[in-house]
Amino acid sequence: MNKTLTIAIMSAVMTLSSCNASTNKNESSLDSLRHKLEYAVNSHKVMYGHHDDPVYGHTWVGNEGRSDVKETVGDYPAVMSWDLGGIELGDSVNLDGVPFERIRKEAAAQAARGGINTFSWHLRNPVNGGDSWDMSDTLIVHKIVTDATAKAAYIEQLHKLASFFNSLTDANGKKIAVIFRPWHEHTGNWFWWGRNVSSVDDYKNLWHEMRRVLNSDGVDNILWAYSPDRVNNTDEYLERYPGDEYVDILGVDIYHFDGESGTERYVTAVKTALGIVCEQAKKRNKIPALTETGLESLTISDWYTSVLLPTLRECPAISYLVVWRNAHNKPEHFYAPYKGHPAEQSFKVFYDDDMTMFAADAKSIK
Ligand code: BMA
């Protein structure tokens, strides 16, 4: 039986046997998004995601209808990842040159094909305008949450963010539900909101203030994702957790570095972190995910089937994973294969595997 049909049947059976069966007919788009993610977890499948997938690829930019993923396996990713860096300035394109108007359009197209959208935000800081990687002022987060002028500038940024989320609508004008993953990789030391340059309380306050403004601006179409960089234990994972009432999805970002020699380190890091993520997700009734992962340049050509898939099989179930972008202007910066790349073959096997879900599979979830 084909994979998509199996998913349609399995999810219909799961829905009928669940006490929520009656919510299915009139469910809001947020419930439907949650339902898809939960279906993946409950059936130990994983939705595949790719950053900026339909707006550029390894050798092209801007064309409509293209996707390196679709050109290798015949379908779009189940999850499209986007970044909102630049929205806070009122820019028309994001930090990687993608027009926000195009993101809006592609997010609607992805929702229409039954897929999911997730957003990160590499914003410029509202104090000195430095980019996300500018850590020259180690007091920025503290200023934002305590100093009236800095806070007002932050709130202005948040209003712009809110109006973007409120503008995400389908063809009938109904808001599209999406995942938002702010203040990511804060356990690392490369963003101005990172662990070494902000206190625990100040970091949490960034979240609290964000949630307050977005709520008051009427943003009601978001599942919120928490995604530290790799962690070794539960205390580290939860140190800056903003609270159960602020978060719907528990994630983690873990990359594979150093090719073959880094495989064992990567596998151990994923197993450790997903063990923590899934345990906490179960305990707190949240949805687990591998919010960013990948091997840059796919220097291990069967990485998808020799490293990623076997590792995921040995981890507790997650809902989705995202690999980062295939940059059109940085030839080494890609994480999904493109047509003609040696990793194509392994990626096809990954696509065919019963465990993985792409857009058509996501659409078939009832
Ligand atoms: C990074 C790289 C950068 C990019 C940023 C935001 O990991 O891909 O080139 O600007 O993400 O998308």
Q: Tell me: the pLDDT tens digits for 40-49?
A: 999 999 999 9
Q: From the CA of 249, how far away is ligand 1's center (Å)?
A: 22
Confidence check: pLDDT of 65 > 70: yes
Determine the 3-state secondary structure of 322 from DSSP.
strand
Measured in whole angstroms, how far is the alpha carbon of residue 299 from the centre of its chain? Answer: 23
Give the pLDDT confidence score for residue 170 in this predicted structure. 95
Find, among 278, 302, 251, the residue nearest to 44 by Cα: 278
Q: How far is CA 220 from CA 90, 114, 118, in A?
A: 22, 20, 15
Residue located nearest, by CA, to atom 8 of ligand 1: 325
Q: From the CA of 97, how far away is ligand 1's center (Å)?
A: 11
Q: What is the pLDDT of residues 292-310, one digit of tens each?
A: 999 999 999 999 999 999 9
Mutate to test the pocket of ligand 1, among 91, 119, 122 (most ligand atoms within 8 A of CB): 122
CB 226 within 8 A of CB 251: yes
User: Which residues are bridge partners to 222 per DSSP?
Assistant: 178
Task: Decide: 273 in ligand 1 pocket, CB within 6 A.
Answer: no
Local confidence band at 197 (pLDDT 50, 70, 90 cut-offs): very high
CB 77 within 8 A of CB 50: yes
* Helix H or strand E encompassing 323: strand 320-323
User: Which residues are bridge partners to 290 per DSSP?
Assistant: 321
Find, among 177, 195, 196, the residue nearest to 186 by Cα: 195
Residue located nearest, by CA, to atom 7 of ligand 1: 324
Q: Which atom of ligand 1 is nearest to the CA of 96?
A: 10
Helix axis angle for 3-17 and 29-42, nearest 10°, is 110
Query: How far apart (Å, rounded) are the C-alpha atoms in residues 20 and 98?
Result: 39
Place of tokens 């599979």: 361
CB 81 within 8 A of CB 51: yes
Query: How far apart (Å, rounded) are the C-alpha atoms in residues 107 and 176?
Result: 8
Here the tokens at position 145 are 């949450």
Confidence check: pLDDT of 21 > 80: no
Query: How far apart (Å, rounded) are the C-alpha atoms in residues 103 and 84?
Result: 9
Task: Decide: 121 in ligand 1 pocket, CB within 6 A.
Answer: no
Q: From the CA of 364, how far away is ligand 1's center (Å)?
A: 32
Confidence check: pLDDT of 77 > 90: yes
Q: Mean of the pLDDT values across residues 201-213? A: 98
Query: Count of CB atoms within 10 A of residue 257's CB?
Result: 12
Measured in whole angstroms, how far is the alpha carbon of residue 19 from the centre of its chain? Answer: 29
Q: From the CA of 258, how far away is ligand 1's center (Å)?
A: 19
Task: Decide: 96 in ligand 1 pocket, CB within 6 A.
Answer: yes
Q: Which atom of ligand 1 is nearest to the CA of 51?
A: 12
Query: How far apart (Å, rounded) are the C-alpha atoms in residues 14 and 16?
Result: 6
Query: How far apart (Å, rounded) are the C-alpha atoms in residues 60 and 63?
Result: 7
Local confidence band at 229 (pLDDT 50, 70, 90 cut-offs): very high
Q: Mean of the pLDDT values across residues 183-201? A: 97
* Helix H or strand E encompassing 356: strand 356-357
Local confidence band at 72 (pLDDT 50, 70, 90 cut-offs): very high
Q: From the CA of 121, how far away is ligand 1's center (Å)?
A: 11
CB 270 within 8 A of CB 309: no
Confidence check: pLDDT of 25 > 60: no
Mean pLDDT of the chain: 95
Q: What is the pLDDT of residues 108-154, one digit of tens each?
A: 999 999 999 999 999 999 999 999 999 999 999 999 999 999 999 99
Find, among 186, 132, 124, 180, the residue nearest to 153 by Cα: 124
Q: From the CA of 325, how far away is ligand 1's center (Å)?
A: 8
